[in-house]
């Protein structure tokens, strides 16, 4: 299954979001089999994260964008659930604080980039500066229109420094958004998530579509690709995002480093294992590493 290739946006693609079906499920059906697939992906991701952490030479940055109620929070909750918090950082980008607004737009973003060995997740990102800023004219066109190139240059710098970047646009229909916002309004445990601003933003749906199309066209690059994920069906969104992350981590193929001193294999490892394993024959470190005694 290669969802990576199926949902990637080609560089400079002249695309219209109307060409993408938000109900698409790539032939998958909801049910136990698909759920088991997601569980397997989550387990595999955890395993690969452990290797990435041990290797300590590269990082992965996952960017989540989408209209309000498209499922950015839900994706973090359902897909990243198996990751070890020690090697993982989620950053949500809100309206810039006074201090952030006194710096260039990438200042707060650069500070949140994952270090080598880490997985970074951005809930919104630098792209807000060519989305909400463009739609609401929060800066002059001369400023925001230069940012596509500035973002590409920035992401190229990260890529050269060993950061693999995956950018997900969670694509829902306007009708699906309406249903989700209405469901939130009715649910006392979730209506805190809704604000009058969300309803106002919905009126600008068409402007956001145009702003997203520009982002996808100008900023999907070989070193930092965008993926358009059909997201009307939450279960498929979770499956597709998890699958693409796993495929990217497999391509990275992080390796355990060699021990930092000579003679470890012959001399020290057997003794260390004996020491760690003790009497019961098996040791688990976190969820990942199991050393078994023969």
> CB-based contacts of 63: which residues, under 8 Å, 6+ apart?
122, 125, 127, 165, 166, 167, 168
Residue 181 as a binder of ligand ADP (CB under 6 A): the answer is no
**Choice between 129 and 176, CB closer to ligand ADP:** 129
- Residue span binding ligand ADP (CB under 6 A) among the ranges 3-11, 36-44, 123-131, 181-189: 123-131
> How far apart (Å, rounded) are the C-alpha atoms in residues 77 and 73?
6
Residues 6+ apart with CB under 8 A from 125: 63, 64, 65, 93, 109, 167
d(CA 155, CA 148): 11
Rg (CA), the chain: 21
Per-residue binding string, ligand ADP, 96-115, x by CB under 6 A, is x-------------------
Select the residue interacting with ligand ADP from 13, 106, 132, 252 (CB under 6 A).
Answer: 132
> In whole angstroms, how close is the CB of 105 to ligand ADP at the nearest point?
6
Residue nearest to ligand ADP (CB): 128
Pick from 58, 89, 124, 234 the residue near ligand ADP by CB under 6 A: 124
Per CB under 6 A, 155 contacts ligand ADP: no
Provide φ and ψ at 36, rounded to 5°: -65, -35
Site string for ligand ADP, 56-95 (x = CB under 6 A): ------------x-----------------------xxxx
Q: Given the complex with ligand ADP, which of 73 and 213 has the nearer CB atom?
A: 73
Out of 80, 119, 133, 166, the only residue in the binding site for ligand ADP (CB under 6 A) is 133
Structure-token pair, residue 87: 């090697």
Q: How far is the CB of 102 from ligand ADP (least distance, A)?
A: 13
Of 50, 40, 128, nearest in space to 85 by CA: 50
Burial 115-127 (b: 16+ CB within 10 A, else e): eebbbbbbbbbbb
Helix axes 72-79, 32-55, angle to 10 degrees: 80
| For ligand ADP, the closer CB: 55 or 100 | 100
Query: For the chain, give me the number of helices (H) and strands (E)?
Result: 13, 7
Which long-range CB contacts under 8 A does 109-114 form with residues at least 24 apart?
109/154, 110/154, 113/59, 113/61, 113/158, 113/163, 114/59, 114/60, 114/61, 114/89, 114/163
Smallest separation, CB 108 to ligand ADP (Å):
9
129 binds ligand ADP (CB under 6 A): yes
For CA atoms 203, 231, 105, 13, give the dihedral sign: negative
Give 192 or 261: the residue with its C-beta nearer to ligand ADP: 192
Size of the site for ligand ADP (CB under 6 A): 12
Task: For ligand ADP, give the closer residue by CB, 191 or 287.
Answer: 191
CB of 2 to ligand ADP, least distance (A): 30
To ligand ADP, the closest distance from the beta carbon of 262 in angstroms equals: 51
Binding site for ligand ADP (CB under 6 A): 68, 92-96, 124, 128-129, 132-133, 138
């Amino acid at each position: 299954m290669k969802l990576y290739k199926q949902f990637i946006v080609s560089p400079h693609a002249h695309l219209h979001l109307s060409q993408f079906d938000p109900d698409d499920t790539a032939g998958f059906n909801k049910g136990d089999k698909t759920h088991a697939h997601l569980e397997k992906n989550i387990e595999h991701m955890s395993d690969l994260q452990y290797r990435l952490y041990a290797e300590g030479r590269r990082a992965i940055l996952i960017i989540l964008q989408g209209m309000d109620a498209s499922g950015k929070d839900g994706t973090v909750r359902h897909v990243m659930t198996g990751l070890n918090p020690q090697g993982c950082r989620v950053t949500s980008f809100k309206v810039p604080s006074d201090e952030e607004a006194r710096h260039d737009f990438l200042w707060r973003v650069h500070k949140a980039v994952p270090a080598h060995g880490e997985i970074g997740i951005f809930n919104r990102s630098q792209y807000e500066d060519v989305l909400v800023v463009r739609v609401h004219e929060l800066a002059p066109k001369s400023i925001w229109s230069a940012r596509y190139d500035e973002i590409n240059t920035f992401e190229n710098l990260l890529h050269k420094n060993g950061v693999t970047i995956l950018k997900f646009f969670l694509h829902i229909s306007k009708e699906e958004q309406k249903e989700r916002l209405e469901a939130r309004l009715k649910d006392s445990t979730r209506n805190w998530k809704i604000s009058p601003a969300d309803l106002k933003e919905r009126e600008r749906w068409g402007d956001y579509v145009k702003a997203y199309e520009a982002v996808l066209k100008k900023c999907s690059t070989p070193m930092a690709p965008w993926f358009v994920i059909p997201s009307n069906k939450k279960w498929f969104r979770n499956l597709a995002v998890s699958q693409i992350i796993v495929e990217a981590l497999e391509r990275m193929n992080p390796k355990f480093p060699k021990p930092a001193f000579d003679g470890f294999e012959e001399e020290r490892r057997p003794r260390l294992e004996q020491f760690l394993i003790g009497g019961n024959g098996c040791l688990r470190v976190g969820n990942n590493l199991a050393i078994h005694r023969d």
